[in-house]
Structure 1
Amino acid sequence: MRREELGSLAMFMAVAEERSFTKAAARLGISQSALSHAMRRLEARLGLRLLTRTTRSVAPTEAGERLIETLGPALNDIDQKLAALTELREKPAGTVRITAGAHAARKVLWPAIERVTTEYPDVRIEVSVDAELVDIVAERFDAGVRLGERLEQDMIAVPISPRLRMAAFASPGYLAAWGTPTSPYELAAHSCINLRFAGSRALYSWEFERDGKELKVKTEGQLVFNDVDLIAQAALAGRGIGFMLEDHVLDHLASGRLVRVLEEWCEPFDGYYLYYPSRRQPSPAFQLVLEALRLRARIGTQHAAGA
């Protein structure tokens, strides 16, 4: 069967149900003449007379009745499938794949993901925690989460977190024994607990800023980790000065188990962005995740402003 005949069969069903070319044409939104021509072409193609026409009504022939018996269930099934597709639009479904660093995945993505997957059980979300930048197009991710200065080109970038801040810290015991640095340059005289990103040969250079002046410092120390929780644990044990995003250690700072140093050199900077290809049309499921992240970003920004 040729695809164009599907339309003629739907027209035939409308005529058979309405028993009138005039009513069927109005229902289909076409002219009565076009409908009549379509029925004659269908009958000629099948070599059967499907409709009996009188001046007052239209009725299916025996062949027409048998065609109705065949078409009715099939068209009803199509209607149900179309209704299911409409329901998918109203209740988004599908999989969203996102790559992000560990901190962004835990602190930013997870709260939004928890909300979306609770409200929309047909939405599946896969998060890949990657320390290095990933080619989201080549690796078939829908989006990535990274800090503003590390965004790829030709991407739509949406801010999804408040501004962030670094913190340098040590235990009270360490500072009592070795003194408190008042400038990043003084870190050379201290034991610093360093971070090496997974897959990187170089140690992370500590980045400071004060009054618009940026400063990168290469620090030395006995301990190197690729995990921030271990850095915090070593600092709590009095083994040196650590440096990381402040919300990793806010509880320790609030309790006094760790003491912040060089605070005036740790100015806020742009936070996380969700980025995705500008040429890709986001799916309804992806839009849900995006809106949930935007909402959390607005709430976080308002909370930070009021703090």
Structure 2
Amino acid sequence: MAKRNLNDLVAFVTVAREGSFTRAASILGVTQSALSQAIKALEARLEIRLLTRTTRSVSPTAAGERLLKAIGHRFDEIEAELDAITALRDKPAGSVRITSGDQVLKSVLLPKLVPLMREYPDINIEFDVCYGFRDIVADRFDAGVRLGEAIDQDMIAVPITPPLRMAAVAAPTYFATRPLPKKPQDLVNHNCINIRQSTRGGVYVWEFEKKGRELNFRASGQGIFNTSPHIVEAAVMGLGIAFLPEGEFAPYLDDGRLVRVLEDWCPPFPGYHLYYPSRRQPSPAFTLVVDALRL
């Protein structure tokens, strides 16, 4: 039996996963024209259409979906084994893809991983900033960063920060004409700055707890954002009361540009964790990343 060139299968898997010839071509380092020709040749060889193309998107046909499920994970396994081979080298090498929020990237990931990258120049790390819950398996990330209480049970979770606390804050100028809230129910009389959750589409419900009593408050106000840095900026400008992990506000609380309220209603909770599939076979590069981030 004649041996088949697997490049066209790699091309198909990449296009199907990315849903875009442009992104797939960038990942594979080829032109869109060459990629299109490879897919057409594969479809001609199999005598069946694998991808449905429109002016805006690309998606697998029923046959393409079946082929993707049959071979996609096998290419992932091959990549994992090739990464594992680097254990035989004098210096670990390979690529690691991590998705996280912006604040934890700046405060935890970069301070801990930049020294690692300097020490091991053959290790490449791709950082993806996302404020929603990414499916790291489907999106082919090696790991994600999420608060400990929000991680699925089938994942390995490694703590990378101590326990955290939420903080309700506002600028002194905001409180100049308004009373300080003494309990969460008082927020009903305030302009609250909220965040819309990108995965579920709903506005975040503020969660408070004091002496075992839990209280959820559906805050309302003039400003709703989908990124936390802009919430912080709006609070500093005096728009209203914001509610985020305290680390987001740290420099502004220190210099007095923000004032904290309801602190006795904000107990500690599990901090950020690095999480990844339990079935994942870690490469030497990935193991070094985990060890560098581990609390």
Q: TM-score range by the shorter chain?
A: 0.5 to 0.7
Unaligned runs of 5+ in 2: 1-84
How far apart are 1:246 and its partner, in Å?
1.0
CA distance in 1, matches of 2:236, 2:262: 18
Q: 1:149 to 1:109 in 2, by over 3 A?
A: same
Where do residues 107-122 of structure 1 align in structure 2 (5 Å cutoff)? 107-122=107-122
Matched, 1:152 2:152: yes
Alignment partners' CA distance in 1, 2:264 and 2:168 = 10
Which residue of structure 2 aligns with residue 181 of structure 1?
181
TM-score, scaled relative to structure 1? 0.65
CA contact (8 A) 2:148 2:272 kept: yes
Relative distance call for 1:86 and 1:278 in structure 2 (3 A) is: closer
Change (3 A) 1:86 1:282: closer
Aligned match of 2:127: 127
Aligned equivalents of 2:185 and 2:116: distance in 1?
46
Shift of 1:87: 7.8
Residues 273 and 199 of structure 1: CA distance in aligned 2, closer, same or farther (over 3 Å): closer
Matching residue's letter, 2:173? G
Q: In structure 1, what is the Cα distance between the partners aligned to 2:133 and 2:228?
A: 19
Listed as ranges, the matches of 1:61-76 within 5 Å are: none
- CA 1:264/1:172 → structure 2, altered by over 3 Å: closer, same or farther? same
**What percentage of aligned pairs have identical amino acids?**
55
Give SS of 1:121's match.
coil
In structure 2, what is the Cα distance between the partners aligned to 1:258 and 1:139?
38
Q: 2:161: which partner in 1? A: 161
Q: Is the 8 A contact 1:89 1:284 kept in 2?
A: no
C-alpha distance 139-199 of structure 1, shift in aligned 2 (>3 A): closer
Partner of 1:177, secondary structure, is: coil
Which structure has the larger Rg? 1
Q: How many residues align?
A: 211
List per-residue Cα deviations over 1:11-54 (Å, max 9, x = no partner). xxxxxxxxxxxxxxxxxxxxxxxxxxxxxxxxxxxxxxxxxxxx
- Note the C-alpha offset of 1:230: 2.1
Shift of 1:146: 0.9
For residues 105 and 224 of structure 2, the distance between their equivalents in structure 1, rounded to whole angstroms, comes to 23
Aligned residues of 2:171 and 2:237 also touching (Cα < 8 A): yes
Task: Give the corresponding residue for 1:91.
Answer: 91
Amino acid at match of 2:185: Y
Which amino acid is 2:277 matched to?
P
CA offsets 1:186-213 (integer angstroms, 9 cap, x no match): 1001111111133542111111121222
Q: Are 2:245 and 1:245 aligned?
A: yes
Secondary structure (helix, strand or coil) at the match of 1:169 reads strand
Bigger helix share: 1
Deviation, 1:139, is 2.0
CA apart distance, 1:260: 0.4
Q: CA deviation at 1:140?
A: 1.9
Equivalent runs, 1:9-48 vs 2, <5 Å:
none
What are the equivalent positions in structure 2 for 1:242-281 lying under 5 Å apart? 242-281=242-281
Question: Please, which moves more after superposition, 265-274 or 103-112?
Answer: 103-112
| TM-score between both structures, scaled by the size of structure 2 | 0.67
Conserved 8 A contact 1:147-1:272: yes
SS at match of 1:127: strand
In structure 1, stretches of 5+ residues that fail to align are: 1-84, 298-307
Alignment CA distance shift 1:251-1:87 (3 Å): closer
Q: Secondary structure in 2 aligned to 1:264? A: helix
Asked if 1:100 corresponds to 2:121, the answer is no
> Are the counterparts in 1 of residues 157 and 274 from structure 2 also a CA contact under 8 Å?
yes
Matched with 1:218 is 218
Distance 2:201 2:102 in 1: 19
What is the identity, as a one-letter code, of the residue corresponding to 1:118? R
1:152-195 Cα distance to aligned partner (Å, 9 max, x none):
23221111111111110111122120110000011001111111
Code of the aligned partner of 1:154: D
What's the secondary structure of 2:197's corresponding residue? coil
Counterpart code for 1:180: L
Closer, same or farther: CA 284–203 of 1 in aligned 2, 3 Å: same
1:93 Cα deviation (Å)? 0.2
Give the letter for the 1:208 counterpart.
F
Correspondence for 1:301: none
CA–CA distance in structure 2, aligned partners of residues 136 and 235 of structure 1? 32
